[in-house]
Amino acid sequence: MAGITLALMAAARPILMRVSGADRPGITAGLMEVLSASEADVHDVEQMVIRGRLTLDVVFSVPEGPSSVKDLLFFGWEQGLDVDFDSIEETPRRHRRGMVVVTIIAPRIGPAAFGAIAEAVAESGGNIDRIERLSRYPVVSYELTVVGGDLDEIRTRLGKAASEQSVDVAVQERSLERRTKRLVVVDVDSTLIQDEVINLLAEEAGVLDEVEKITMSAMEGAMDFGDSLTHRVALLKDLDIEGIERVVERVTLTPGARTFVRTLKRAGMRTAMISGGFTIVADAIGADLGVDHVVANELEIVEGRVTGQLTGRIVDRGRKAEIVGELAEAEGIPLDQVVAIGDGANDIDMLAVAGLGIAFNAKPVVREVADTAVNVPYLDAILFMLGVHREDVEDADDPEPVQIEGLPPV
């Protein structure tokens, strides 16, 4: 082997050295010390560790003269590592503009699902350049960097494969904007929380059946959101403040909601809740989670009782989109650096105006128009769509500020 590698090095072409074995501190430093002693030029380095096993690739060249191969092989022998060499051709630099990032999320991702995703990429003319695991808990997620292929075709084929394999797949252009999201806006009912607040209020007021009938009428298109909300609020007349307080206590956060908001805030991102519900409940949730902005409908309350009226503009589908723009402008954040998350038709315009619109356990009409969809029951799984690693999520509990790679500094 030494004779072969000596010949490779004498050819003055770039050499790929692959080092593999049990990982331990000092391996990379030791190899670079040997290469430095040989006056080698290092052209490329990539390293990964999977379950304690190291794979380190180094592309380098050496000037004419004595070779360092024996020293490299001896270093590998000392460390119990396998060291292999190969001569390679210089390849043109790939333009990141032509790359896309594919994120796969599911409770379990087996070889059939992985194979189907890889096949869809290949059939689209793309090639997987890199695969990185983002999480094993509460869901399994991977990030694939894909080079080449038509973006629309990749999305179409991956969407079909994802549906057949029951996994969530997001396809995003690899760009600076993707890794620099700065404002995350989330719907409340059935998104940030598991409940529909107006149903809880109606139950306290003893008018749940009537409210649900109006809700169904609106869902069937017989009544628009504004009219249906006005009629439902009228039925809440005379509900006392104590009943509202009981509703606040009954609200159930979506699994992962607290972790989701905490991680975003520790990464220095701004957060907002935009709700078609009511401020008297949404404000309490926002204060508990530490959300920066809360916007919802205002129930009129006089002498401790609901009057059956709303004050101010109704937060409907169009208004939600306007609020996203207003919040972004107030924060000095471009819309392409905004993420919006929702589940219902009332959220469609909000998802469309944001740089990234995510349908979370959403109705089919919302999934069809959103940039991507997440169908697992954990809100913090959305973090993986943003390229956040599970380790970053766990570090969000650390008392010191966390700098997540690729996101703005705190």
Beta-strand ranges (E) seen in 136-269 are 140-147, 168-173, 183-186
Q: At what angle do helices 225-235 and 208-219 cross, to 10 degrees?
A: 180
**DSSP-based three-state secondary structure for 175:** coil
The answer to whether the beta carbons of residues 201 and 236 sit under 8 Å apart is: yes
pLDDT of residue 257: 97
For residues 388 and 386, give the distance between their C-alpha atoms in angstroms, rounded to a whole number: 6
CA distance 134 to 374: 15
Q: What is the band of 404 on the pLDDT scale with cuts at 50, 70, 90?
A: very low
Q: Is the pLDDT of residue 98 over 90?
A: no
Helix (H) or strand (E) holding 58: strand 53-61
Single out the residue of 139, 85, 33 nearest to residue 380, CA to CA: 139
Quick one: pLDDT at residue 333? 95
State CA 136 to chain mean position distance.
14
Reply yes or no on whether the pLDDT at 231 is more than 90. Answer: yes
Domains in the chain: boundaries = 2-87, 96-175, 183-195+253-300+310-395
The rounded percent of the chain whose pLDDT value lies above 70 is: 88
Residue, of 23 and 4, whose pLDDT is higher:
23
Reply yes or no on whether the pLDDT at 8 is more than 70: no
Q: In this predicted structure, what is the pLDDT of residue 354?
A: 96
2: confidence class by pLDDT, cuts 50, 70, 90? very low
pLDDT of 398 strictly over 70: no
What is the C-alpha separation between 159 and 172, in angstroms, rounded? 13
Dist. CA 31–CA 112, nearest whole Å? 38
Please determine, for residue 109, whether its predicted confidence score (pLDDT) is greater than 80: yes
Among candidate residues 70, 290, 282, 112, the one with its CA nearest the CA of residue 184? 290
* pLDDT mean over 266-291: 96
Please say if the pLDDT value at position 3 is more than 60: no
Show Cβ contacts of residue 186 under 8 Å, excluding neighbours closer than 6 positions. Answer: 192, 271, 272, 273, 274, 340, 341, 342
Taking the C-alpha atoms of 30, 133, 263 and 369 in order, what is their torsion angle to the nearest 10 degrees? 140
Find the mean pLDDT for residues 93-120: 85
Q: Across residues 69-79, what is the average pLDDT?
A: 84
What would the mean pLDDT of 284-312 be, rounded to a whole number?
97
Between 219 and 377, whose confidence is greater? 377
Using a pLDDT cut of 90, give the percent of the chain over it: 63
Separation of alpha carbons 372 and 356, rounded Å: 8
Contact yes or no for 121/149 (Cβ under 8 A): yes
Separation between Cα atoms, residue 108 and residue 137, nearest integer Å: 10
Helix (H, G, I), strand (E, B) or coil at 158: helix
* Cβ density class 306-338: b for 16+ within 10 Å, e for less: bbbebeeebbbbebbbbbbeebbeebebeeebb
Architecture of domain 2-87: 2-Layer Sandwich (3.30)
CA geometry: angle 264, 270, 276, nearest 5 deg: 100
Largest CA distance in the chain: 93
Query: Is 93 a residue whose pLDDT tops 60?
Result: no
Q: Note whether 317 and 345 are within 8 A (CB).
A: yes
Q: Give the confidence band of 392 by pLDDT, cuts at 50, 70, 90.
A: confident
Catalytic (active site) residue 343: no
Evaluate if residue 67 carries a pLDDT over 60.
Answer: no
Q: Which of 168, 189, 380, 392 is labelled catalytic?
A: 189
pLDDT value at 177 more than 80: no
Mean pLDDT value of segment 87-92: 68
Domain 2-87 and domain 96-175 have a common topology: yes
**In the predicted model, is pLDDT for residue 335 greater than 60?**
yes
What amino acid occupies position 278? F
For domain 183-195+253-300+310-395, give the CATH number.
Answer: 3.40.50.1000
DSSP letters of 298-319? Answer: EEEEETTEEEEEEES----HHH
Residues 301-324 pLDDT 10s: 999 999 999 999 999 999 999 999
Which pLDDT value is given to residue 43?
87
Is the model more confident about 189 or about 4?
189
pTM: 0.80
Q: Is the pLDDT of residue 248 over 90?
A: yes
Q: Are 244 and 201 in contact (CB under 8 A)?
A: yes
For the segment 283-294, the average pLDDT, to the nearest whole number, is 97
Any catalytic annotation for residue 380? no
What is the rounded distance in angstroms from the CA atom of residue 289 to the CA atom of residue 196? 18
Please report the beta strands in 12-164, taking only residues with DSSP state E, as ranges in sequence order: 15-22, 41-50, 53-61, 82-87, 99-106, 127-135, 140-147
8 A C-beta contact, residue 171 and residue 100: yes
User: 82, 150, 152, 187: which one is catalytic?
Assistant: 187
Average pLDDT of the chain is 87
Instruction: Using the predicted structure, report yes or no on whether residue 9 has a pLDDT greater than 70.
Output: no
Q: How confident is the model at residue 374 (pLDDT cuts 50, 70, 90)?
A: very high
- The whole-number pLDDT of residue 402 equals 44
| Paired strand residues for 53 | 22, 50
Closest Cα to residue 138, out of 382, 403, 319?
A: 382
* CATH top-level class of 96-175: alpha beta
Terminal Cα-to-Cα distance of the chain (whole angstroms): 50
pLDDT at 399: 47
